[in-house]
A and B are shown apart, each in its own frame.
Chain A
Amino acid sequence: MSARLFGLALVAAPLGLFAPRAGDGPATPAGRGFVAVRAGTVHLVEEGRVLSGATVLVKDGKIQAVGSDVPLPPDALVVDYGPDAVIVPGLVAAYSAYALGFPSERTADPTLAALDAFDTYRVYGDALSGGVTSAYLTPADNRLIAGTGAVVKLAGQRDAARVLSAEAALHGAIDASARATPGYWDPPIPVMVDVELGYARPQLPRTTMGAIVALGELLDLAADPDDARLVSEYGPRTGPALARALAARVPLRLSASDAEEIRALLGFAAERRVPLVLDRAEGAGPVAAEIAAAGVPVVYRLPYSPNAPAVDRGKEEDARWPTLDVPAQLVKAGARVAITGSAPRDLLFAARLASRGGLEPAAALRAITLAPAEILGVAQRVGSLRAGKDADLCVLNGDPLAPGTSVLATWVDGEVAWTPAQHASKEDDGRASRATVIEVEELHVGDGEVLRPGQLLMQDGRIREVGARVSRPRGATVVRGKTCMPGMIDAFGHLGLEGSRKVPGTDFTLATILDPGDALDRRVARQGITTVVLTPRSASDSGAPVAAYKPAARELDHLMVADPAALRLRWDDPVRLRSGQNVRALLAKAQEYRQKWLEYEQAMAKWVPPAEPAAEPEKKEDEKAGEAKEGEKSEGEAKEEKKEESDKKEDKKDEKKDSKSKKKKGEPEELEPDPITGLWQADVALPEPAAPAKLKLRAKLAKAGESAAVEGNLRCDALSATLVEFEGWFDREARTLTLSGVGSRGWVELSGELKEGKLAIKARADGQEHEATLERTSKDYVVAGRSERGTEKSETPKEPKGKPREPKRDGKLEPLRRAMDGTAALVVEVERARDILECVAACNQAGIRPVLYGAREAHLVLDQIAGKVAGVLPSPTVVVAEAERGTDYRTPYAELQNAGIRVAFPSEAEEGAIDLPLRAAYAVANGMSPEGALRALTADAAAMLAIDGRVGRLAPGLDADVLLLDGPPLDPATSVLRAWVAGEEVEAH
C-alpha cells in the first residue's frame, strides 16, 4: 500500500514537466537509484512473452531486468500499479505529423531534415497520453522524396539522447499525393543580384510509371552525382545527399495506396536493390504474399479517422470502401507490419481495429511496438521490454486490445512522463407473415438491459416477444448467434439527400424525396445503421425539417418512421444579441397555435353532430388524445389503425375529386408530376396471383411536346423479390410511357398508355403479362399515419353546419405543436454555454425539452441543463482537446452521459453513417461506458427524437430492426453478421 502511495507521489512529480520551466527534465527519484515498476501483467513483446505479476527494474533510464522474480536491490524504489494493471513497452508511432512542414518545390529533396523541426521544448502530451513514447517524424508530404525522416523520443532530457535515429528513412510517395508536385519548378521571381533568371522545368511524376522512372533517375544521379542532365533535372544537392543516404543503407520509405502502385514499387526495389519500406499500403491485401516474398516491411496507416466527421467513400457499386483486414493478411502472409493511426495518441485504438480485421492480439501489439521499432531501425533501444533497452513503459488499466482500456502512466527513460491530468408500423398488408426467432448468448435490449441468453421473436415487421425464451410460431426461421442488438440510429445524417444541398422550408415533407431500399441503402444497413434521422445539410433561419426513416426498408410503408420527426432550429445568430430571437418568436407563435387547437378540440368534444354523424370528428379527437398520451403503445396503435382507415377513405375521396377535376382541366395536367417533387406514386392493382404492388415514378419536368425522362421503382413481389428500379421516358405526343428495369428474376418492362387521365400499365416479367391501371394520387405517402395534411384540406369544405371550424393547419408550426405534445422533437443548434442555458430555459418555458445540437460548451453547464433537455447531439468530434486543458482530453459524449443527459451520435454524412459504430467504439476507448455508447446508438437516440415508439430498443411492439453480431457490441473486433429492417433481412443485391 505504502509502495503504491509512493508510486503516486512519484507520479505526481513529473507534472512539473508540463509547466514551462527553464530547467530540463523533471527530477524524479528515478535518476538516483533503482526503480522497480510492478504490474499484474507485463507484455515483453519479445517473442510474444507475457509475464504475470512481473517487475521491470530500471536504473539510469535503462531497463536492468524484467521478470517475475527479479531480486530487488535494497534501495530500490517500488512503484506498484497493482494486479489489474498491464505494462507494455512504450508504443512506437511509425507515423507522426509533428515535424510536418512545407515541402520543397523540387520533386526530390533528401536534404530536408525532419529533425530540424523536432521541437524539444514542445510538450508531446497528446502522444504520451496515448502511451506513445517514440515517434517517426515525417519531414513533409506530397513529394516523390519529400525529405529525410527521423525517429525521436517524445519526452525526456532535451539533448541528443532523444534522437533515436536522425536518418530513419528517405520519406516520399508514389501515390496520388506525390502527384501534387508542382508541375514546373518556378525559378525565383523577381530575378535579383543573387538569382539569375532560371527557366521552368517540368517535374515528374504525374503517373505511377512517371514516379518509378523518376526514382530510377534519382538512383542514377546518386550513383553519378555529376550527371549534368540529371543535376539540372533534380538540382545540384540531390545527388550527393542521396548517395550518402543510400551508402548508409537508409531505406526509401514510400507511400503507395493500391495494389498496382505497391507492385510497381516491389518490382523497382528488387531491380535496383534498394532497401524499401512501404508506407500507407491501404490496398496491400491482394499483394500480401508478394510483399512478404520481397521481404519488404509495411507501415500500414489505418484509413479511418474516427475523430473527424465521417467520410463518404464513394457511391459506385465498385467503390473501394476500406477494409480492416489488411494487416491481418500481411501478417498471415509473413510480412513485417507496423500499424499507425491518424494521430499518435490513437495507436492503441488502431491496433484494436486491426485486430477486428483478424489480426491476433500478440501480432497487433507487436505491430505498434517492436515491429515499428525494427522497421525504423531503432529496435536496439525501444520497442520491447528487455534488459539494456530504454525504460519506456506504457502502463494500462487492462488488456491492451480490450475496448475502453486506457493509459495509467507513460514512462520515458525511467521517469514518469505522463499521467492522466487531475481534472468529467403498420399492420400486415396481406403478405404471408414471416416469423423469425433469434437466439443469442447476449441480447442487448438497447436501454442498457442485457439478457444472457436472450431470444427474440419478430413477425410482420414488428418485435413480438423478447425474453430468455420466446414462442416459436410454426414455420418460423430460427437464427442462432452470439450477440444481437437493436438497429443503430444515425441521429443526424444525410443519407438519401444524394448530395443535395438544398434547404427546403420547414413544412417540406422529406418523405417525398426518398426511395426505399436501393443498393446503397442496403449496404449501409448491413453495417448496422437501420434508422437515419434525416435532415438537410444546412438550415435556413426559419430552421429545417427533420424526418426519421429506414433507408433499407423494403416497403414504402415501413420507410418512414416519423415525418416530420422534429423541427430543427438554430439558436446562435452571427449577431449575438439576436441569438435565440427567432426561436423565441417561433415558440411564442406555436403556443398560440396550439392554444387554438386545444380550444377547437374542447369545442369538438362538446359539439353534438347533427342527424348524419360524421365519423371524422371523434377520430380527430381521440387521435389527439392518443398523441397527447406519450409513448403508450396501445393508444398509439389504435390511433394509427383508425388513421389508416381514414386514410383509405381520404384516398378514395381524393381520387374522386381528381377525376372530377379532370373533366374541368384538360388531360395533359393529369400526368404532370408533382411540381415540387416530380413524383408519381400510386397503388398498382395487379391481377392475382400477384400481390398488390407499389409503383413510384419520378419524372423530370420537360417542356410540352418533348419526351420527359422518367425514373422510378416498383415494389411487386410477383415480379421481383427486390425493388425494381426503372428508367424510361414519357412521350407526350403519343402519351405513352415506356420503362424497364432489372428485377431479381431478370428484366421487368412496363409500358403504359394515357387514356382520359388513367394510365393503363402493362408489366411484362418472366413471360407473364400483368395489366393494371394507375391513377395519380396525392403526393403524400400512405404511411406512418401522417397523411392528415392532404386529407384535412380535401375534407373541410363539406362540413355540416355548426361544426366548430377547425383551425388552419400551419405546416411550419405543426412540428412544434407536436413537440409540445411530446410526439416530436425540437432540435436546436446552440453552441455557447450562456446560449445553451437561455435556449433550454426558453424551450422549457414553452413546455418542450429540446434536443441540443452541437452544444460545444455544454460541459460548462452540465448540471444546469440536466433533466431539462431531451438529449444532446454533440459534434462529431468525439475527443476534444482544449487549448486551456492541453493534454487533458475531454470526451463530451461521456461527460454528458455521466451527467445523466442523453446523447446520440450524428454522422453528418450520407453512407458515411457506417462509421458511427466505429466512432462509438472510439468514444468507449476514450472513457465512455460501453453500455452508455450502445444506448446512445439506439435507445437514447430514439428517445430524444421521440421515435422510441417505433425504434431504438428490442421490445415487443417496436419495429423489428435487429442486428446480429459476432461479438460484444462496440468492441472494435466485433462486426455485424446479419441485419433485419422491419422484420425483413437486408440482403446484398
Chain B
Amino acid sequence: MKRLLATALLLASLVAAPLPAQQSGRLVIEAGRIVTQAGPDIENGRIVIDGGRITAVGKAEEVEKPWDATVIGGKEFVAVPGFVEAHTSQGMDRANENIDVAPFLDIRDSIDPVAYFFEDCLRLGITTVNVQQGANCVVGGRGMVVRPVGMTVEEMAVRPLFGLKLSTRPKGGKSRATQMQALRFAFEDLKLYLEGLVEKERDDAGYAKREALFQGRDLEAEAAQGRAMSGNAWKVDGLELVPRGALDERYAPLLELLEGRYTAFVHCGDPLDVVHALEVVRAQGILARTVLVIESDCWKAADRIAEAGVPVILEGGLLDVQRDPITGEEVETFVPRVLQEKGIRFALSSEDPNTRAPAYQAALAVAYGMERTAALDAVTRVPAEILGLGDEVGSLERGKLGNVLLCSGDPLSVAGWVEHVVIEGRLVYERAKDVRNKHLLEGVQPLGTAPPTSAEAGEDPEHEHEKKADEDKGGSEKDAGDEQKEKEDGGR
C-alpha cells in the first residue's frame, strides 16, 4: 500500500503539471538528427506538433517555428518515433484466468495504471502498448491498446476492447490433443448456442418482434446493418432475428471475433502450435485478422507463416539455441533473420525483463546483420501496423500522432538514453526528473541513508545498527517490488 502510494506520487510527478505551453497544444522538438523511419534521417531537424499531431517534420531551416510554441530538445539530441510494444501481458494485476474459454473477460478491469511496468515503458521509450491476457488459456479475454500515461484506464486507453487472445500452446494441465479439442469445442459451442437461440427465436418470433418493438429496434434494419452473424467460415441463418441484447455475454465476444471485430492474437509455443493456430483461424475464417505471438522455436514453421501471410510478434528470445540431434553440436539461430528472409512481417517484443528494451533488441538485430532501419521498424512501424495504428504511430510523419523520443545520442548505442518522451504533443517524461531512473543508474539511497563518510566508515557499532535497520527497510521495500513483478510475470 505504502509503495503504491509512493509510486502514485512518483508517477504524478512525471505526468501531472502540464507545461503551460501545452494549453496552446503547440510543441516544437528540435534535434541534431531525426530518425523518421519514413525515409532518410534528417540532420538537425525540427518537428512541430499541434493538437497532439505532427504538423511538420523537416530540416530546421525549412520548418518554421510557431511563435507561441514551446521548444524542447537541441542539437545534442536524436529524435526517434516512440516505440510500440505490440503485445504484452504485463501491467495487469494477474495475467491469466483459470477458465479455459473466457472471451468475456476484459483486460481493462485488470490493468493497473500505476504498475511499474508502464513507468518503465516511458523509461524505455515505449509510447504505445498492446496489453493482452496471458497465454495460459484456450480462449482468453479481450485486450486493449494503451498509452503508458494516465492515472485511470480511461486516460490510458488508445483502443479499448482491442484484440482477443487465443492459445494453441497446451495450457497447464492440458496435452496438445486436449488443448486443440478445447479450442475447437469453444467455436462448436458457440455455433450450437447460436443455432439454439435462433430455434428459440423462431418458436416465439412474435414475442421477439414485440420485444424488438418494445425496445424500439428495427430488426430488418439491424439485419441490414450486418448485425447478423456474418462470419466468413460459417453462418447461422436467421441470426438477425435474435436481438443482440439476447446474446449471452459469455458468447458474444467470440461471435464478434468471427465477425472480424477483433484481431486474434494466437500464442504459439512451438512450430506445431503454429500449424494448429493457422488451421484453427482458417477454419473459423479469421486468418485475415490473425497475429501470431511466437516463441523462438517457432522459426521452424516460418514457411507456413509466410504462406499464410500473417504477421508475427516474436515474444521469445531473439536467439534460438538448440542441439543438433545427430551431430550433438549446438546450433544458434537468429530468429529475426529467418523471419526476414521468409518475408514475414514481424515485431519484436521480449517478455524477459532483462532484454525487453526495444532499443536493445533492435541493437541485437543490428549486431546479427540486420539493416538499422529494418531493425528499428521491428519496434516501431511494424508493431504499429499490426495494431492497425499504421497511420497513427510508428514513424515521424506529418499527420501522425506526436509520439517522439528525444535520446542523448544514438538510441542503439550504450550512450543513448531516452531523455524526453513526448506522447501526443505532451511532454510526459523527462529523465532529469526521473528519480527512479537516477536510483537505477546511480543507486541513490533512500532518504536518510546517505553513504557513510570516511569518518563514519569506522567500527562504530551504534552507527552499524541504524545503518542496518535502514537497509532492512530498503530491502523489504524492494521485496514488495519483487512481489509486484512476480505478479506481473505470473503464469505467462
Contact = CB atoms under 8 A, between A and B. Distances in A.
Contacts of A422: 326
A147 B99 contact: no
A195 interface: yes
Contacts of A884: 323, 328
Given A102-B175, A147-B177, A20 B322 contact: yes
A886 B324 contact: yes
A121 interface: yes
Contact of A194 (B99, B173, B179): B99
A887 B300 CA distance: 20
Given A21-B300, A22-B303, A194-B101, A120 B275 contact: yes
Given A121-B271, A121-B301, A19 B177 contact: no
Given A22-B342, A121-B300, A101 B175 contact: yes
B303 A24 contact: yes
Contacts of B302: 22
B325 A886 contact: yes
Interface stretch (A109-117, A490-498, A656-664, A969-977): A109-117
Interface in A415-446: 421-422
Interface string A12-44: 000100111111100000000000000000000
Interface in B152-180: 173-180
Given A22-B303, A883-B323, A114 B177 contact: yes
Interface in B315-334: 322-328, 331, 333
Nearest to A421: B326
Q: Which of A22, A158, A883, A888 has the most CB of B within 10 A?
A: A22
Interface string B185-225: 10000000000000000000000000000000000000000
A189 to B, nearest CB: 11
Contact of A22 (B177, B178, B299, B322): B299
Contacts of B173: 102
Contact of A18 (B185, B325, B333): B325
B178 A101 contact: yes
Nearest to A100: B175
Contacts of A20: 300, 322, 324, 331, 333
Nearest to A113: B177
A805 to B, nearest CB: 61
Given A20-B333, A121-B300, A195 B177 contact: no
B99 A113 contact: no
Contact of A19 (B102, B176, B331): B331
Given A18-B325, A101-B177, A102-B178, A195 B303 contact: no
A192 interface: yes
B102 A194 contact: yes
B174 A113 contact: no
A193 B300 contact: no
Range class of the B interface residue count: 35 or more
A102 B174 contact: yes
B196 to A, nearest CB: 12
A140 B177 CA distance: 9
Given A101-B178, A112-B177, A113-B180, A22 B323 contact: no
Given A24-B303, A117-B176, A193-B250, A111 B324 contact: no
A651 to B, nearest CB: 63
A471 B12 CA distance: 109
Contacts of B325: 18, 123, 125, 885-887
B276 interface: yes
Contacts of A888: 326
A18 B300 CA distance: 12
A398 interface: no
A345 B300 CA distance: 26
A99 B104 CA distance: 32
Given A112-B178, A116-B177, A23 B303 contact: yes
A99 B177 contact: yes
B480 interface: no
B99 to A, nearest CB: 6
B275 A19 contact: no
Given A116-B276, A194-B101, A19 B250 contact: no
Give the interface centre of A20, A120, A237, A421 by most chain B CB atoms within 10 Å: A20
A104 B174 CA distance: 10
A101 B101 CA distance: 21
A15 B304 CA distance: 22
A887 B326 contact: yes
Interface in A873-894: 882-888
Contacts of B342: 22
Contact of B177 (A23, A139, A886): A139
A15 B326 contact: yes
Contacts of A102: 173-175, 178
Interface in A722-762: none
A114 B176 CA distance: 9
Contacts of B328: 882, 884-886
A874 B270 CA distance: 37
A422 B303 CA distance: 29
A791 to B, nearest CB: 59
A194 B250 contact: yes
B270 A121 contact: yes
Contacts of B333: 20
B272 interface: yes
A22 B102 CA distance: 34
A883 B99 CA distance: 36
A119 interface: yes
B109 to A, nearest CB: 13
Contacts of A19: 324, 326-327, 331
Interface string A119-152: 1111101000000000000011000000100000
Nearest to A16: B326
Contacts of B303: 22-24
B181 interface: yes
Contacts of B299: 22
B338 interface: yes
Contacts of A192: 99
Interface string A638-672: 00000000000000000000000000000000000
Nearest to B178: A102
A114 B178 CA distance: 9
Contacts of B324: 18-20, 886
B272 A119 contact: yes
A912 B325 CA distance: 34
Contacts of B174: 102
B250 A116 contact: no
Contacts of B301: 121
Contacts of B338: 22
A109 to B, nearest CB: 8
Interface in A438-494: none
A193 B104 contact: yes
A99 B180 CA distance: 13
Contacts of A104: 178
Interface string A853-889: 0000000000000000000000000000011111110
Which one of B185, B276, B325 has the greatest number of beta carbons of chain A within 10 Å? B325
A123 B323 CA distance: 12
A193 B104 CA distance: 10
A635 to B, nearest CB: 51
Closest 3 CB pairs of A and B: A886-B325, A101-B175, A117-B176
Given A112-B178, A119-B270, 16 more contacts: A18-B326, A19-B324, A23-B303, A101-B177, A102-B178, A111-B181, A111-B185, A113-B180, A113-B181, A119-B272, A120-B275, A193-B99, A194-B250, A885-B326, A885-B328, A886-B323
5 contacts: A20-B333, A112-B181, A113-B180, A120-B272, A121-B270
Interface of B: 99, 101-102, 104, 173-181, 185, 250, 270-272, 275-276, 299-304, 322-328, 331, 333, 338, 341-342
Interface of A: 15, 18-24, 99, 101-102, 104, 111-114, 116-117, 119-123, 125, 139-140, 147, 158, 192-195, 237, 421-422, 882-888
